[in-house]
Amino acid sequence: MSNTTLLERPSVSAAVRTAPARSDEAPLAADLPAVRSPRGFALYVGLDEIKAAEAGVSLPLLVDALRRTLAELAPGAETHATVALAPHGSGGRDLDVVRLALQEPGAIARTKAAAEEETVDEEGGVVVDISRKRVVIDGESAAFTYKEFELLQYLVLREGRTIERSELVSALWQAQDDETPGERTIDVHVRRLRAKLGRYEDIVRTVRGIGYRFDRHADVVIRYGHGTPSPDRF
C-alpha cells in the first residue's frame, strides 16, 4: 500500500538528516532483559504536503520545528524522521497510512483482520455486521431497510432469548411514529426480514404465542465491533 523513505531533500537542513541504523539497534528478543523499560516513543503525524501547505508550512519545516523543541526539552535525545508514501488516490486516513507504512503492529493487525473479514464475506453463509450496519448473505450485501436491520440487531444482541412482540414494538418504534405497528402487525415486519434472509430465514424463530428468537447457525457470523449497543439498553 505504501512504503517509507528518509525525510531528506536537497533543500532540507542537515538537522533533518538521520544516520543509518546500526546492527546493534535491533537486538533479538532472546537478548532483551527480562524487565523492560521505555527507551523512546513514536509520534505518528497524519498530514500530507497539500494540507501542510494550506497551513502555511511544509513537512520539512514541521519536522525541524519538532526536533528543535525536543532538543530544548531533552538535549540528549536521539531522533529519526521518516515520510510515509502512498500512491495518489489511494484513499484512507492519513494517519492510518502512516502507521501502516511504518509497520506499527496495531495497524498491521487491523489490516490483517480486515482482509480476513473480506474473505469471510466472499464465502457462503450470513454475516451480521453490527459495526457497519449491514448483512452479507452468501457474499452479497443484502438490501435491508434501517428498520429491518434494527429488528434483526435487537434479536441478535439477545441471542437465544425469546422476545415478546410488545417489547419489539416499544423498543424499536417511538410512540409518536406515524407507522407504529401493533403487536400483530410486527409479524409483517418479521416476514419481510425473513424473506430477505432467504434460505437462512430460520435463524429468526417464531415462538408460538409469545414472540421471536434469534438462533445462530454454524454458517452465521456476528461482528460486533466498537460501539455495539448494549443488549440491556438499545
pLDDT digit string (tens) for the chain, length 234 residues: 434 433 333 333 333 333 343 444 444 545 555 677 888 887 888 888 888 888 898 888 988 998 899 999 998 888 888 788 777 766 677 777 777 777 777 767 766 666 555 555 556 788 888 878 889 998 888 889 988 999 999 999 898 899 999 898 888 887 556 566 677 778 888 999 999 999 999 999 999 889 999 988 888 888 875 444 545 433
Q: What pLDDT is attached to residue 117?
A: 58
Query: How large is the C-alpha radius of gyration of the chain?
Result: 27
Q: What pLDDT is attached to residue 153?
A: 92
Q: What pLDDT is attached to residue 32?
A: 54
8 Å CB contact between 123 and 215: no
Distance between CA atoms of 63 and 56, rounded to whole angstroms? 14
Q: What pLDDT is attached to residue 198?
A: 92
Residues with Cβ within 8 Å of 104's Cβ and at least 6 positions away in sequence, in order, are 42, 44
CA torsion angle 175 176 179 183 (round to 10):
10
C-alpha cell at 211: 414472540
Strand partners, 135: 128
Angle between helices 165-172 and 186-197 (to 10 degrees): 90
Q: What pLDDT is attached to residue 1?
A: 41
Pairing of strands 82-85, 3-6: antiparallel
8 Å CB contact between 34 and 51: no
